[in-house]
Amino acid sequence: MRKLGFDNNKYLAMQSDHIRERISQFGDKLYLEFGGKLFDDYHASRVLPGFEPDSKLRMLMQLSDQAEIIIAVSAADITKNKIRYDLGITYDVDVLRLIHAFTDRGLYVGSVVITHYSDQPAILQFKTKLEKMGIRVYRHYTIDGYPSNIPLIVSDDGFGKNDYIETERPLVVVTAPGPGSGKMATCLSQLYHENKRGIKAGYAKFETFPVWNLPLKHPVNLAYEAATADLNDVNMIDPFHLEAYGTTTVNYNRDVEIFPVLSAIFEGIFGECPYKSPTDMGVNMNGFCIMDDEACREASRQEIIRRYYQALGKIVDDESARSEAYKIELIMKQAKITPNDRPVVPAALSLAQTIGAPAAALELPDGKIVLGKTKELLGASAAVLLNAIKELGGIDHDLDLISPESIAPIQELKVRYLGSTNPRLHTDEVLIALSTCAATDQNARTALEQLPKLRGCQVHTSVLLSDVDTNIFKKLGIELTCEPVQEDKK
């Protein structure tokens, strides 16, 4: 079983208390920029075993009587139909998803702000759609020379041109569908307007990673670098914090680079900057909630290897992704790991070499590895899935859970009527056939009941899988990696 390394209950209590303290520090109102994913944070749950994917959302729910949410989205991302690749939906659709997700959990969504606003048809249509839902929509504009032209930014022709967002509660959480949506600029614009109205307001930033009070090269922080390799983010010692306090803390390059500008903007608004360093701006307490450092280190090493294989897979379709893979290779060297430190990798490759065909290996919760090889009726990924649930259900491996007679009609449908050249069953087809057999066969029913136990298991295949197989593993919660090799369909 995966060893827990993170105390989630301690985190929920400590984090909400710390945010309350920060609200009281500024008096009337705190604008909290939320970086990363507010919920479904599976990266955090993988590298900090015990961290629940919705922990940040649950933490906010403890502050629900004090908090309201502003969702920022860039007009440029709407007009370009920018996609959230982890969900496969556009940013405007994700705004609607976020609104429903927050309100369903009892959180108050006060408004949506469209940043870099322009009167283009797609923007006006989106704005009208939100307003018909009863959501207040505000407009923030592009400022020439942002963020360097401080005199213009902190003036009536800069932040002053933006709509003032009406808020009701002391904690205003600013979140967005993805990076580059204008969360920080939204917070700073609001500080300018609040100050003009005589309201004392403050700003803080909530970024889960890097963990500021862990060492620079701690695997948890290296895993964050691997996760953002495509953005060229780099963890670094916060030089401003070191100079101000003589204490070493970790931040990332974009926050360190922007801090002098941010400090100047604060001085333009308030007359002084309330923070001495980027680390000061943060409120994240997850580093204090690690209860088993080695468990988190090992989980992070495994995440780095998974990210490496993801980058290799991208190269097959897009050669420009090669720089991302090179960067993660360097991170692996810093972490002193290789792909073979992921146990399912050598197991799958060894079997593939032996049989001269695609193979797969899956690590069960108890650490045991089961194998799957390409057969006449099944692909390797489907075979390893069946072998895994047989093992978990105590079912004889020589027993056919799905009879060849049940598979034959599916193969005929694929090849004769749907034009497929590959008669072998994909994982989704295997599961449908298995569920059909479960209606009359106890072994098939027992096997089907084992599927929830596969969540969090590791699997590696010697070839790239189809989107169908990849999505099934994802839905089952199985963490998949593949060799960057296309399968010979013949």
pLDDT at 37: 78
For residue 305, pLDDT over 70 is answered with yes
Q: Minimum mean pLDDT among 32-36, 139-143, 316-320, 472-476: which range?
A: 316-320
Hey, is 274 helix, strand or coil?
coil
For residue 481, pLDDT over 60 is answered with yes
382 falls in which pLDDT band (50, 70, 90)? very high
pLDDT at 456: 92
pLDDT at 400: 87
Give mean pLDDT, residues 386-396: 96
The torsion of the CA quartet 193, 196, 201, 203, rounded to 10 degrees, works out to 50
Residue 150 in contact with residue 108, Cβ under 8 Å?
Answer: no
Percentage above 70 pLDDT, the chain: 98
| C-alpha distance across the termini of the chain, in Å | 39
Q: Nearest Cα to 465, choosing from 448, 487, 443?
A: 487
Q: Nearest Cα to 31, choosing from 195, 244, 160?
A: 195
Q: How far is CA 208 from CA 56, 66, 143, 296, in A?
A: 9, 21, 29, 15
pLDDT in tens, 119-130: 999 999 999 999
Between 414 and 268, where is the model more confident?
268
487 falls in which pLDDT band (50, 70, 90)? confident
What is the average pLDDT value for the chain, to the nearest integer? 92
Give mean pLDDT, residues 161-172: 96
pLDDT in tens, 79-120: 999 887 667 789 999 999 999 999 999 999 999 999 999 999
For residue 230, pLDDT over 90 is answered with no
pLDDT in tens, 178-215: 888 999 999 999 999 999 999 889 999 998 999 999 99
Q: What is the DSSP letter of 416?
A: I
With tokens 């300018």, the residue in question is: 192
pLDDT at 144: 93
Domains of the chain, start order? 8-289 (3.10.630.10), 343-482 (3.40.140.40)
Tokens of 117: 């606003």
State pTM to two decimals: 0.89
Give mean pLDDT, residues 152-176: 95
Between 426 and 76, where is the model more confident?
76
Residues in the chain, overall count: 490
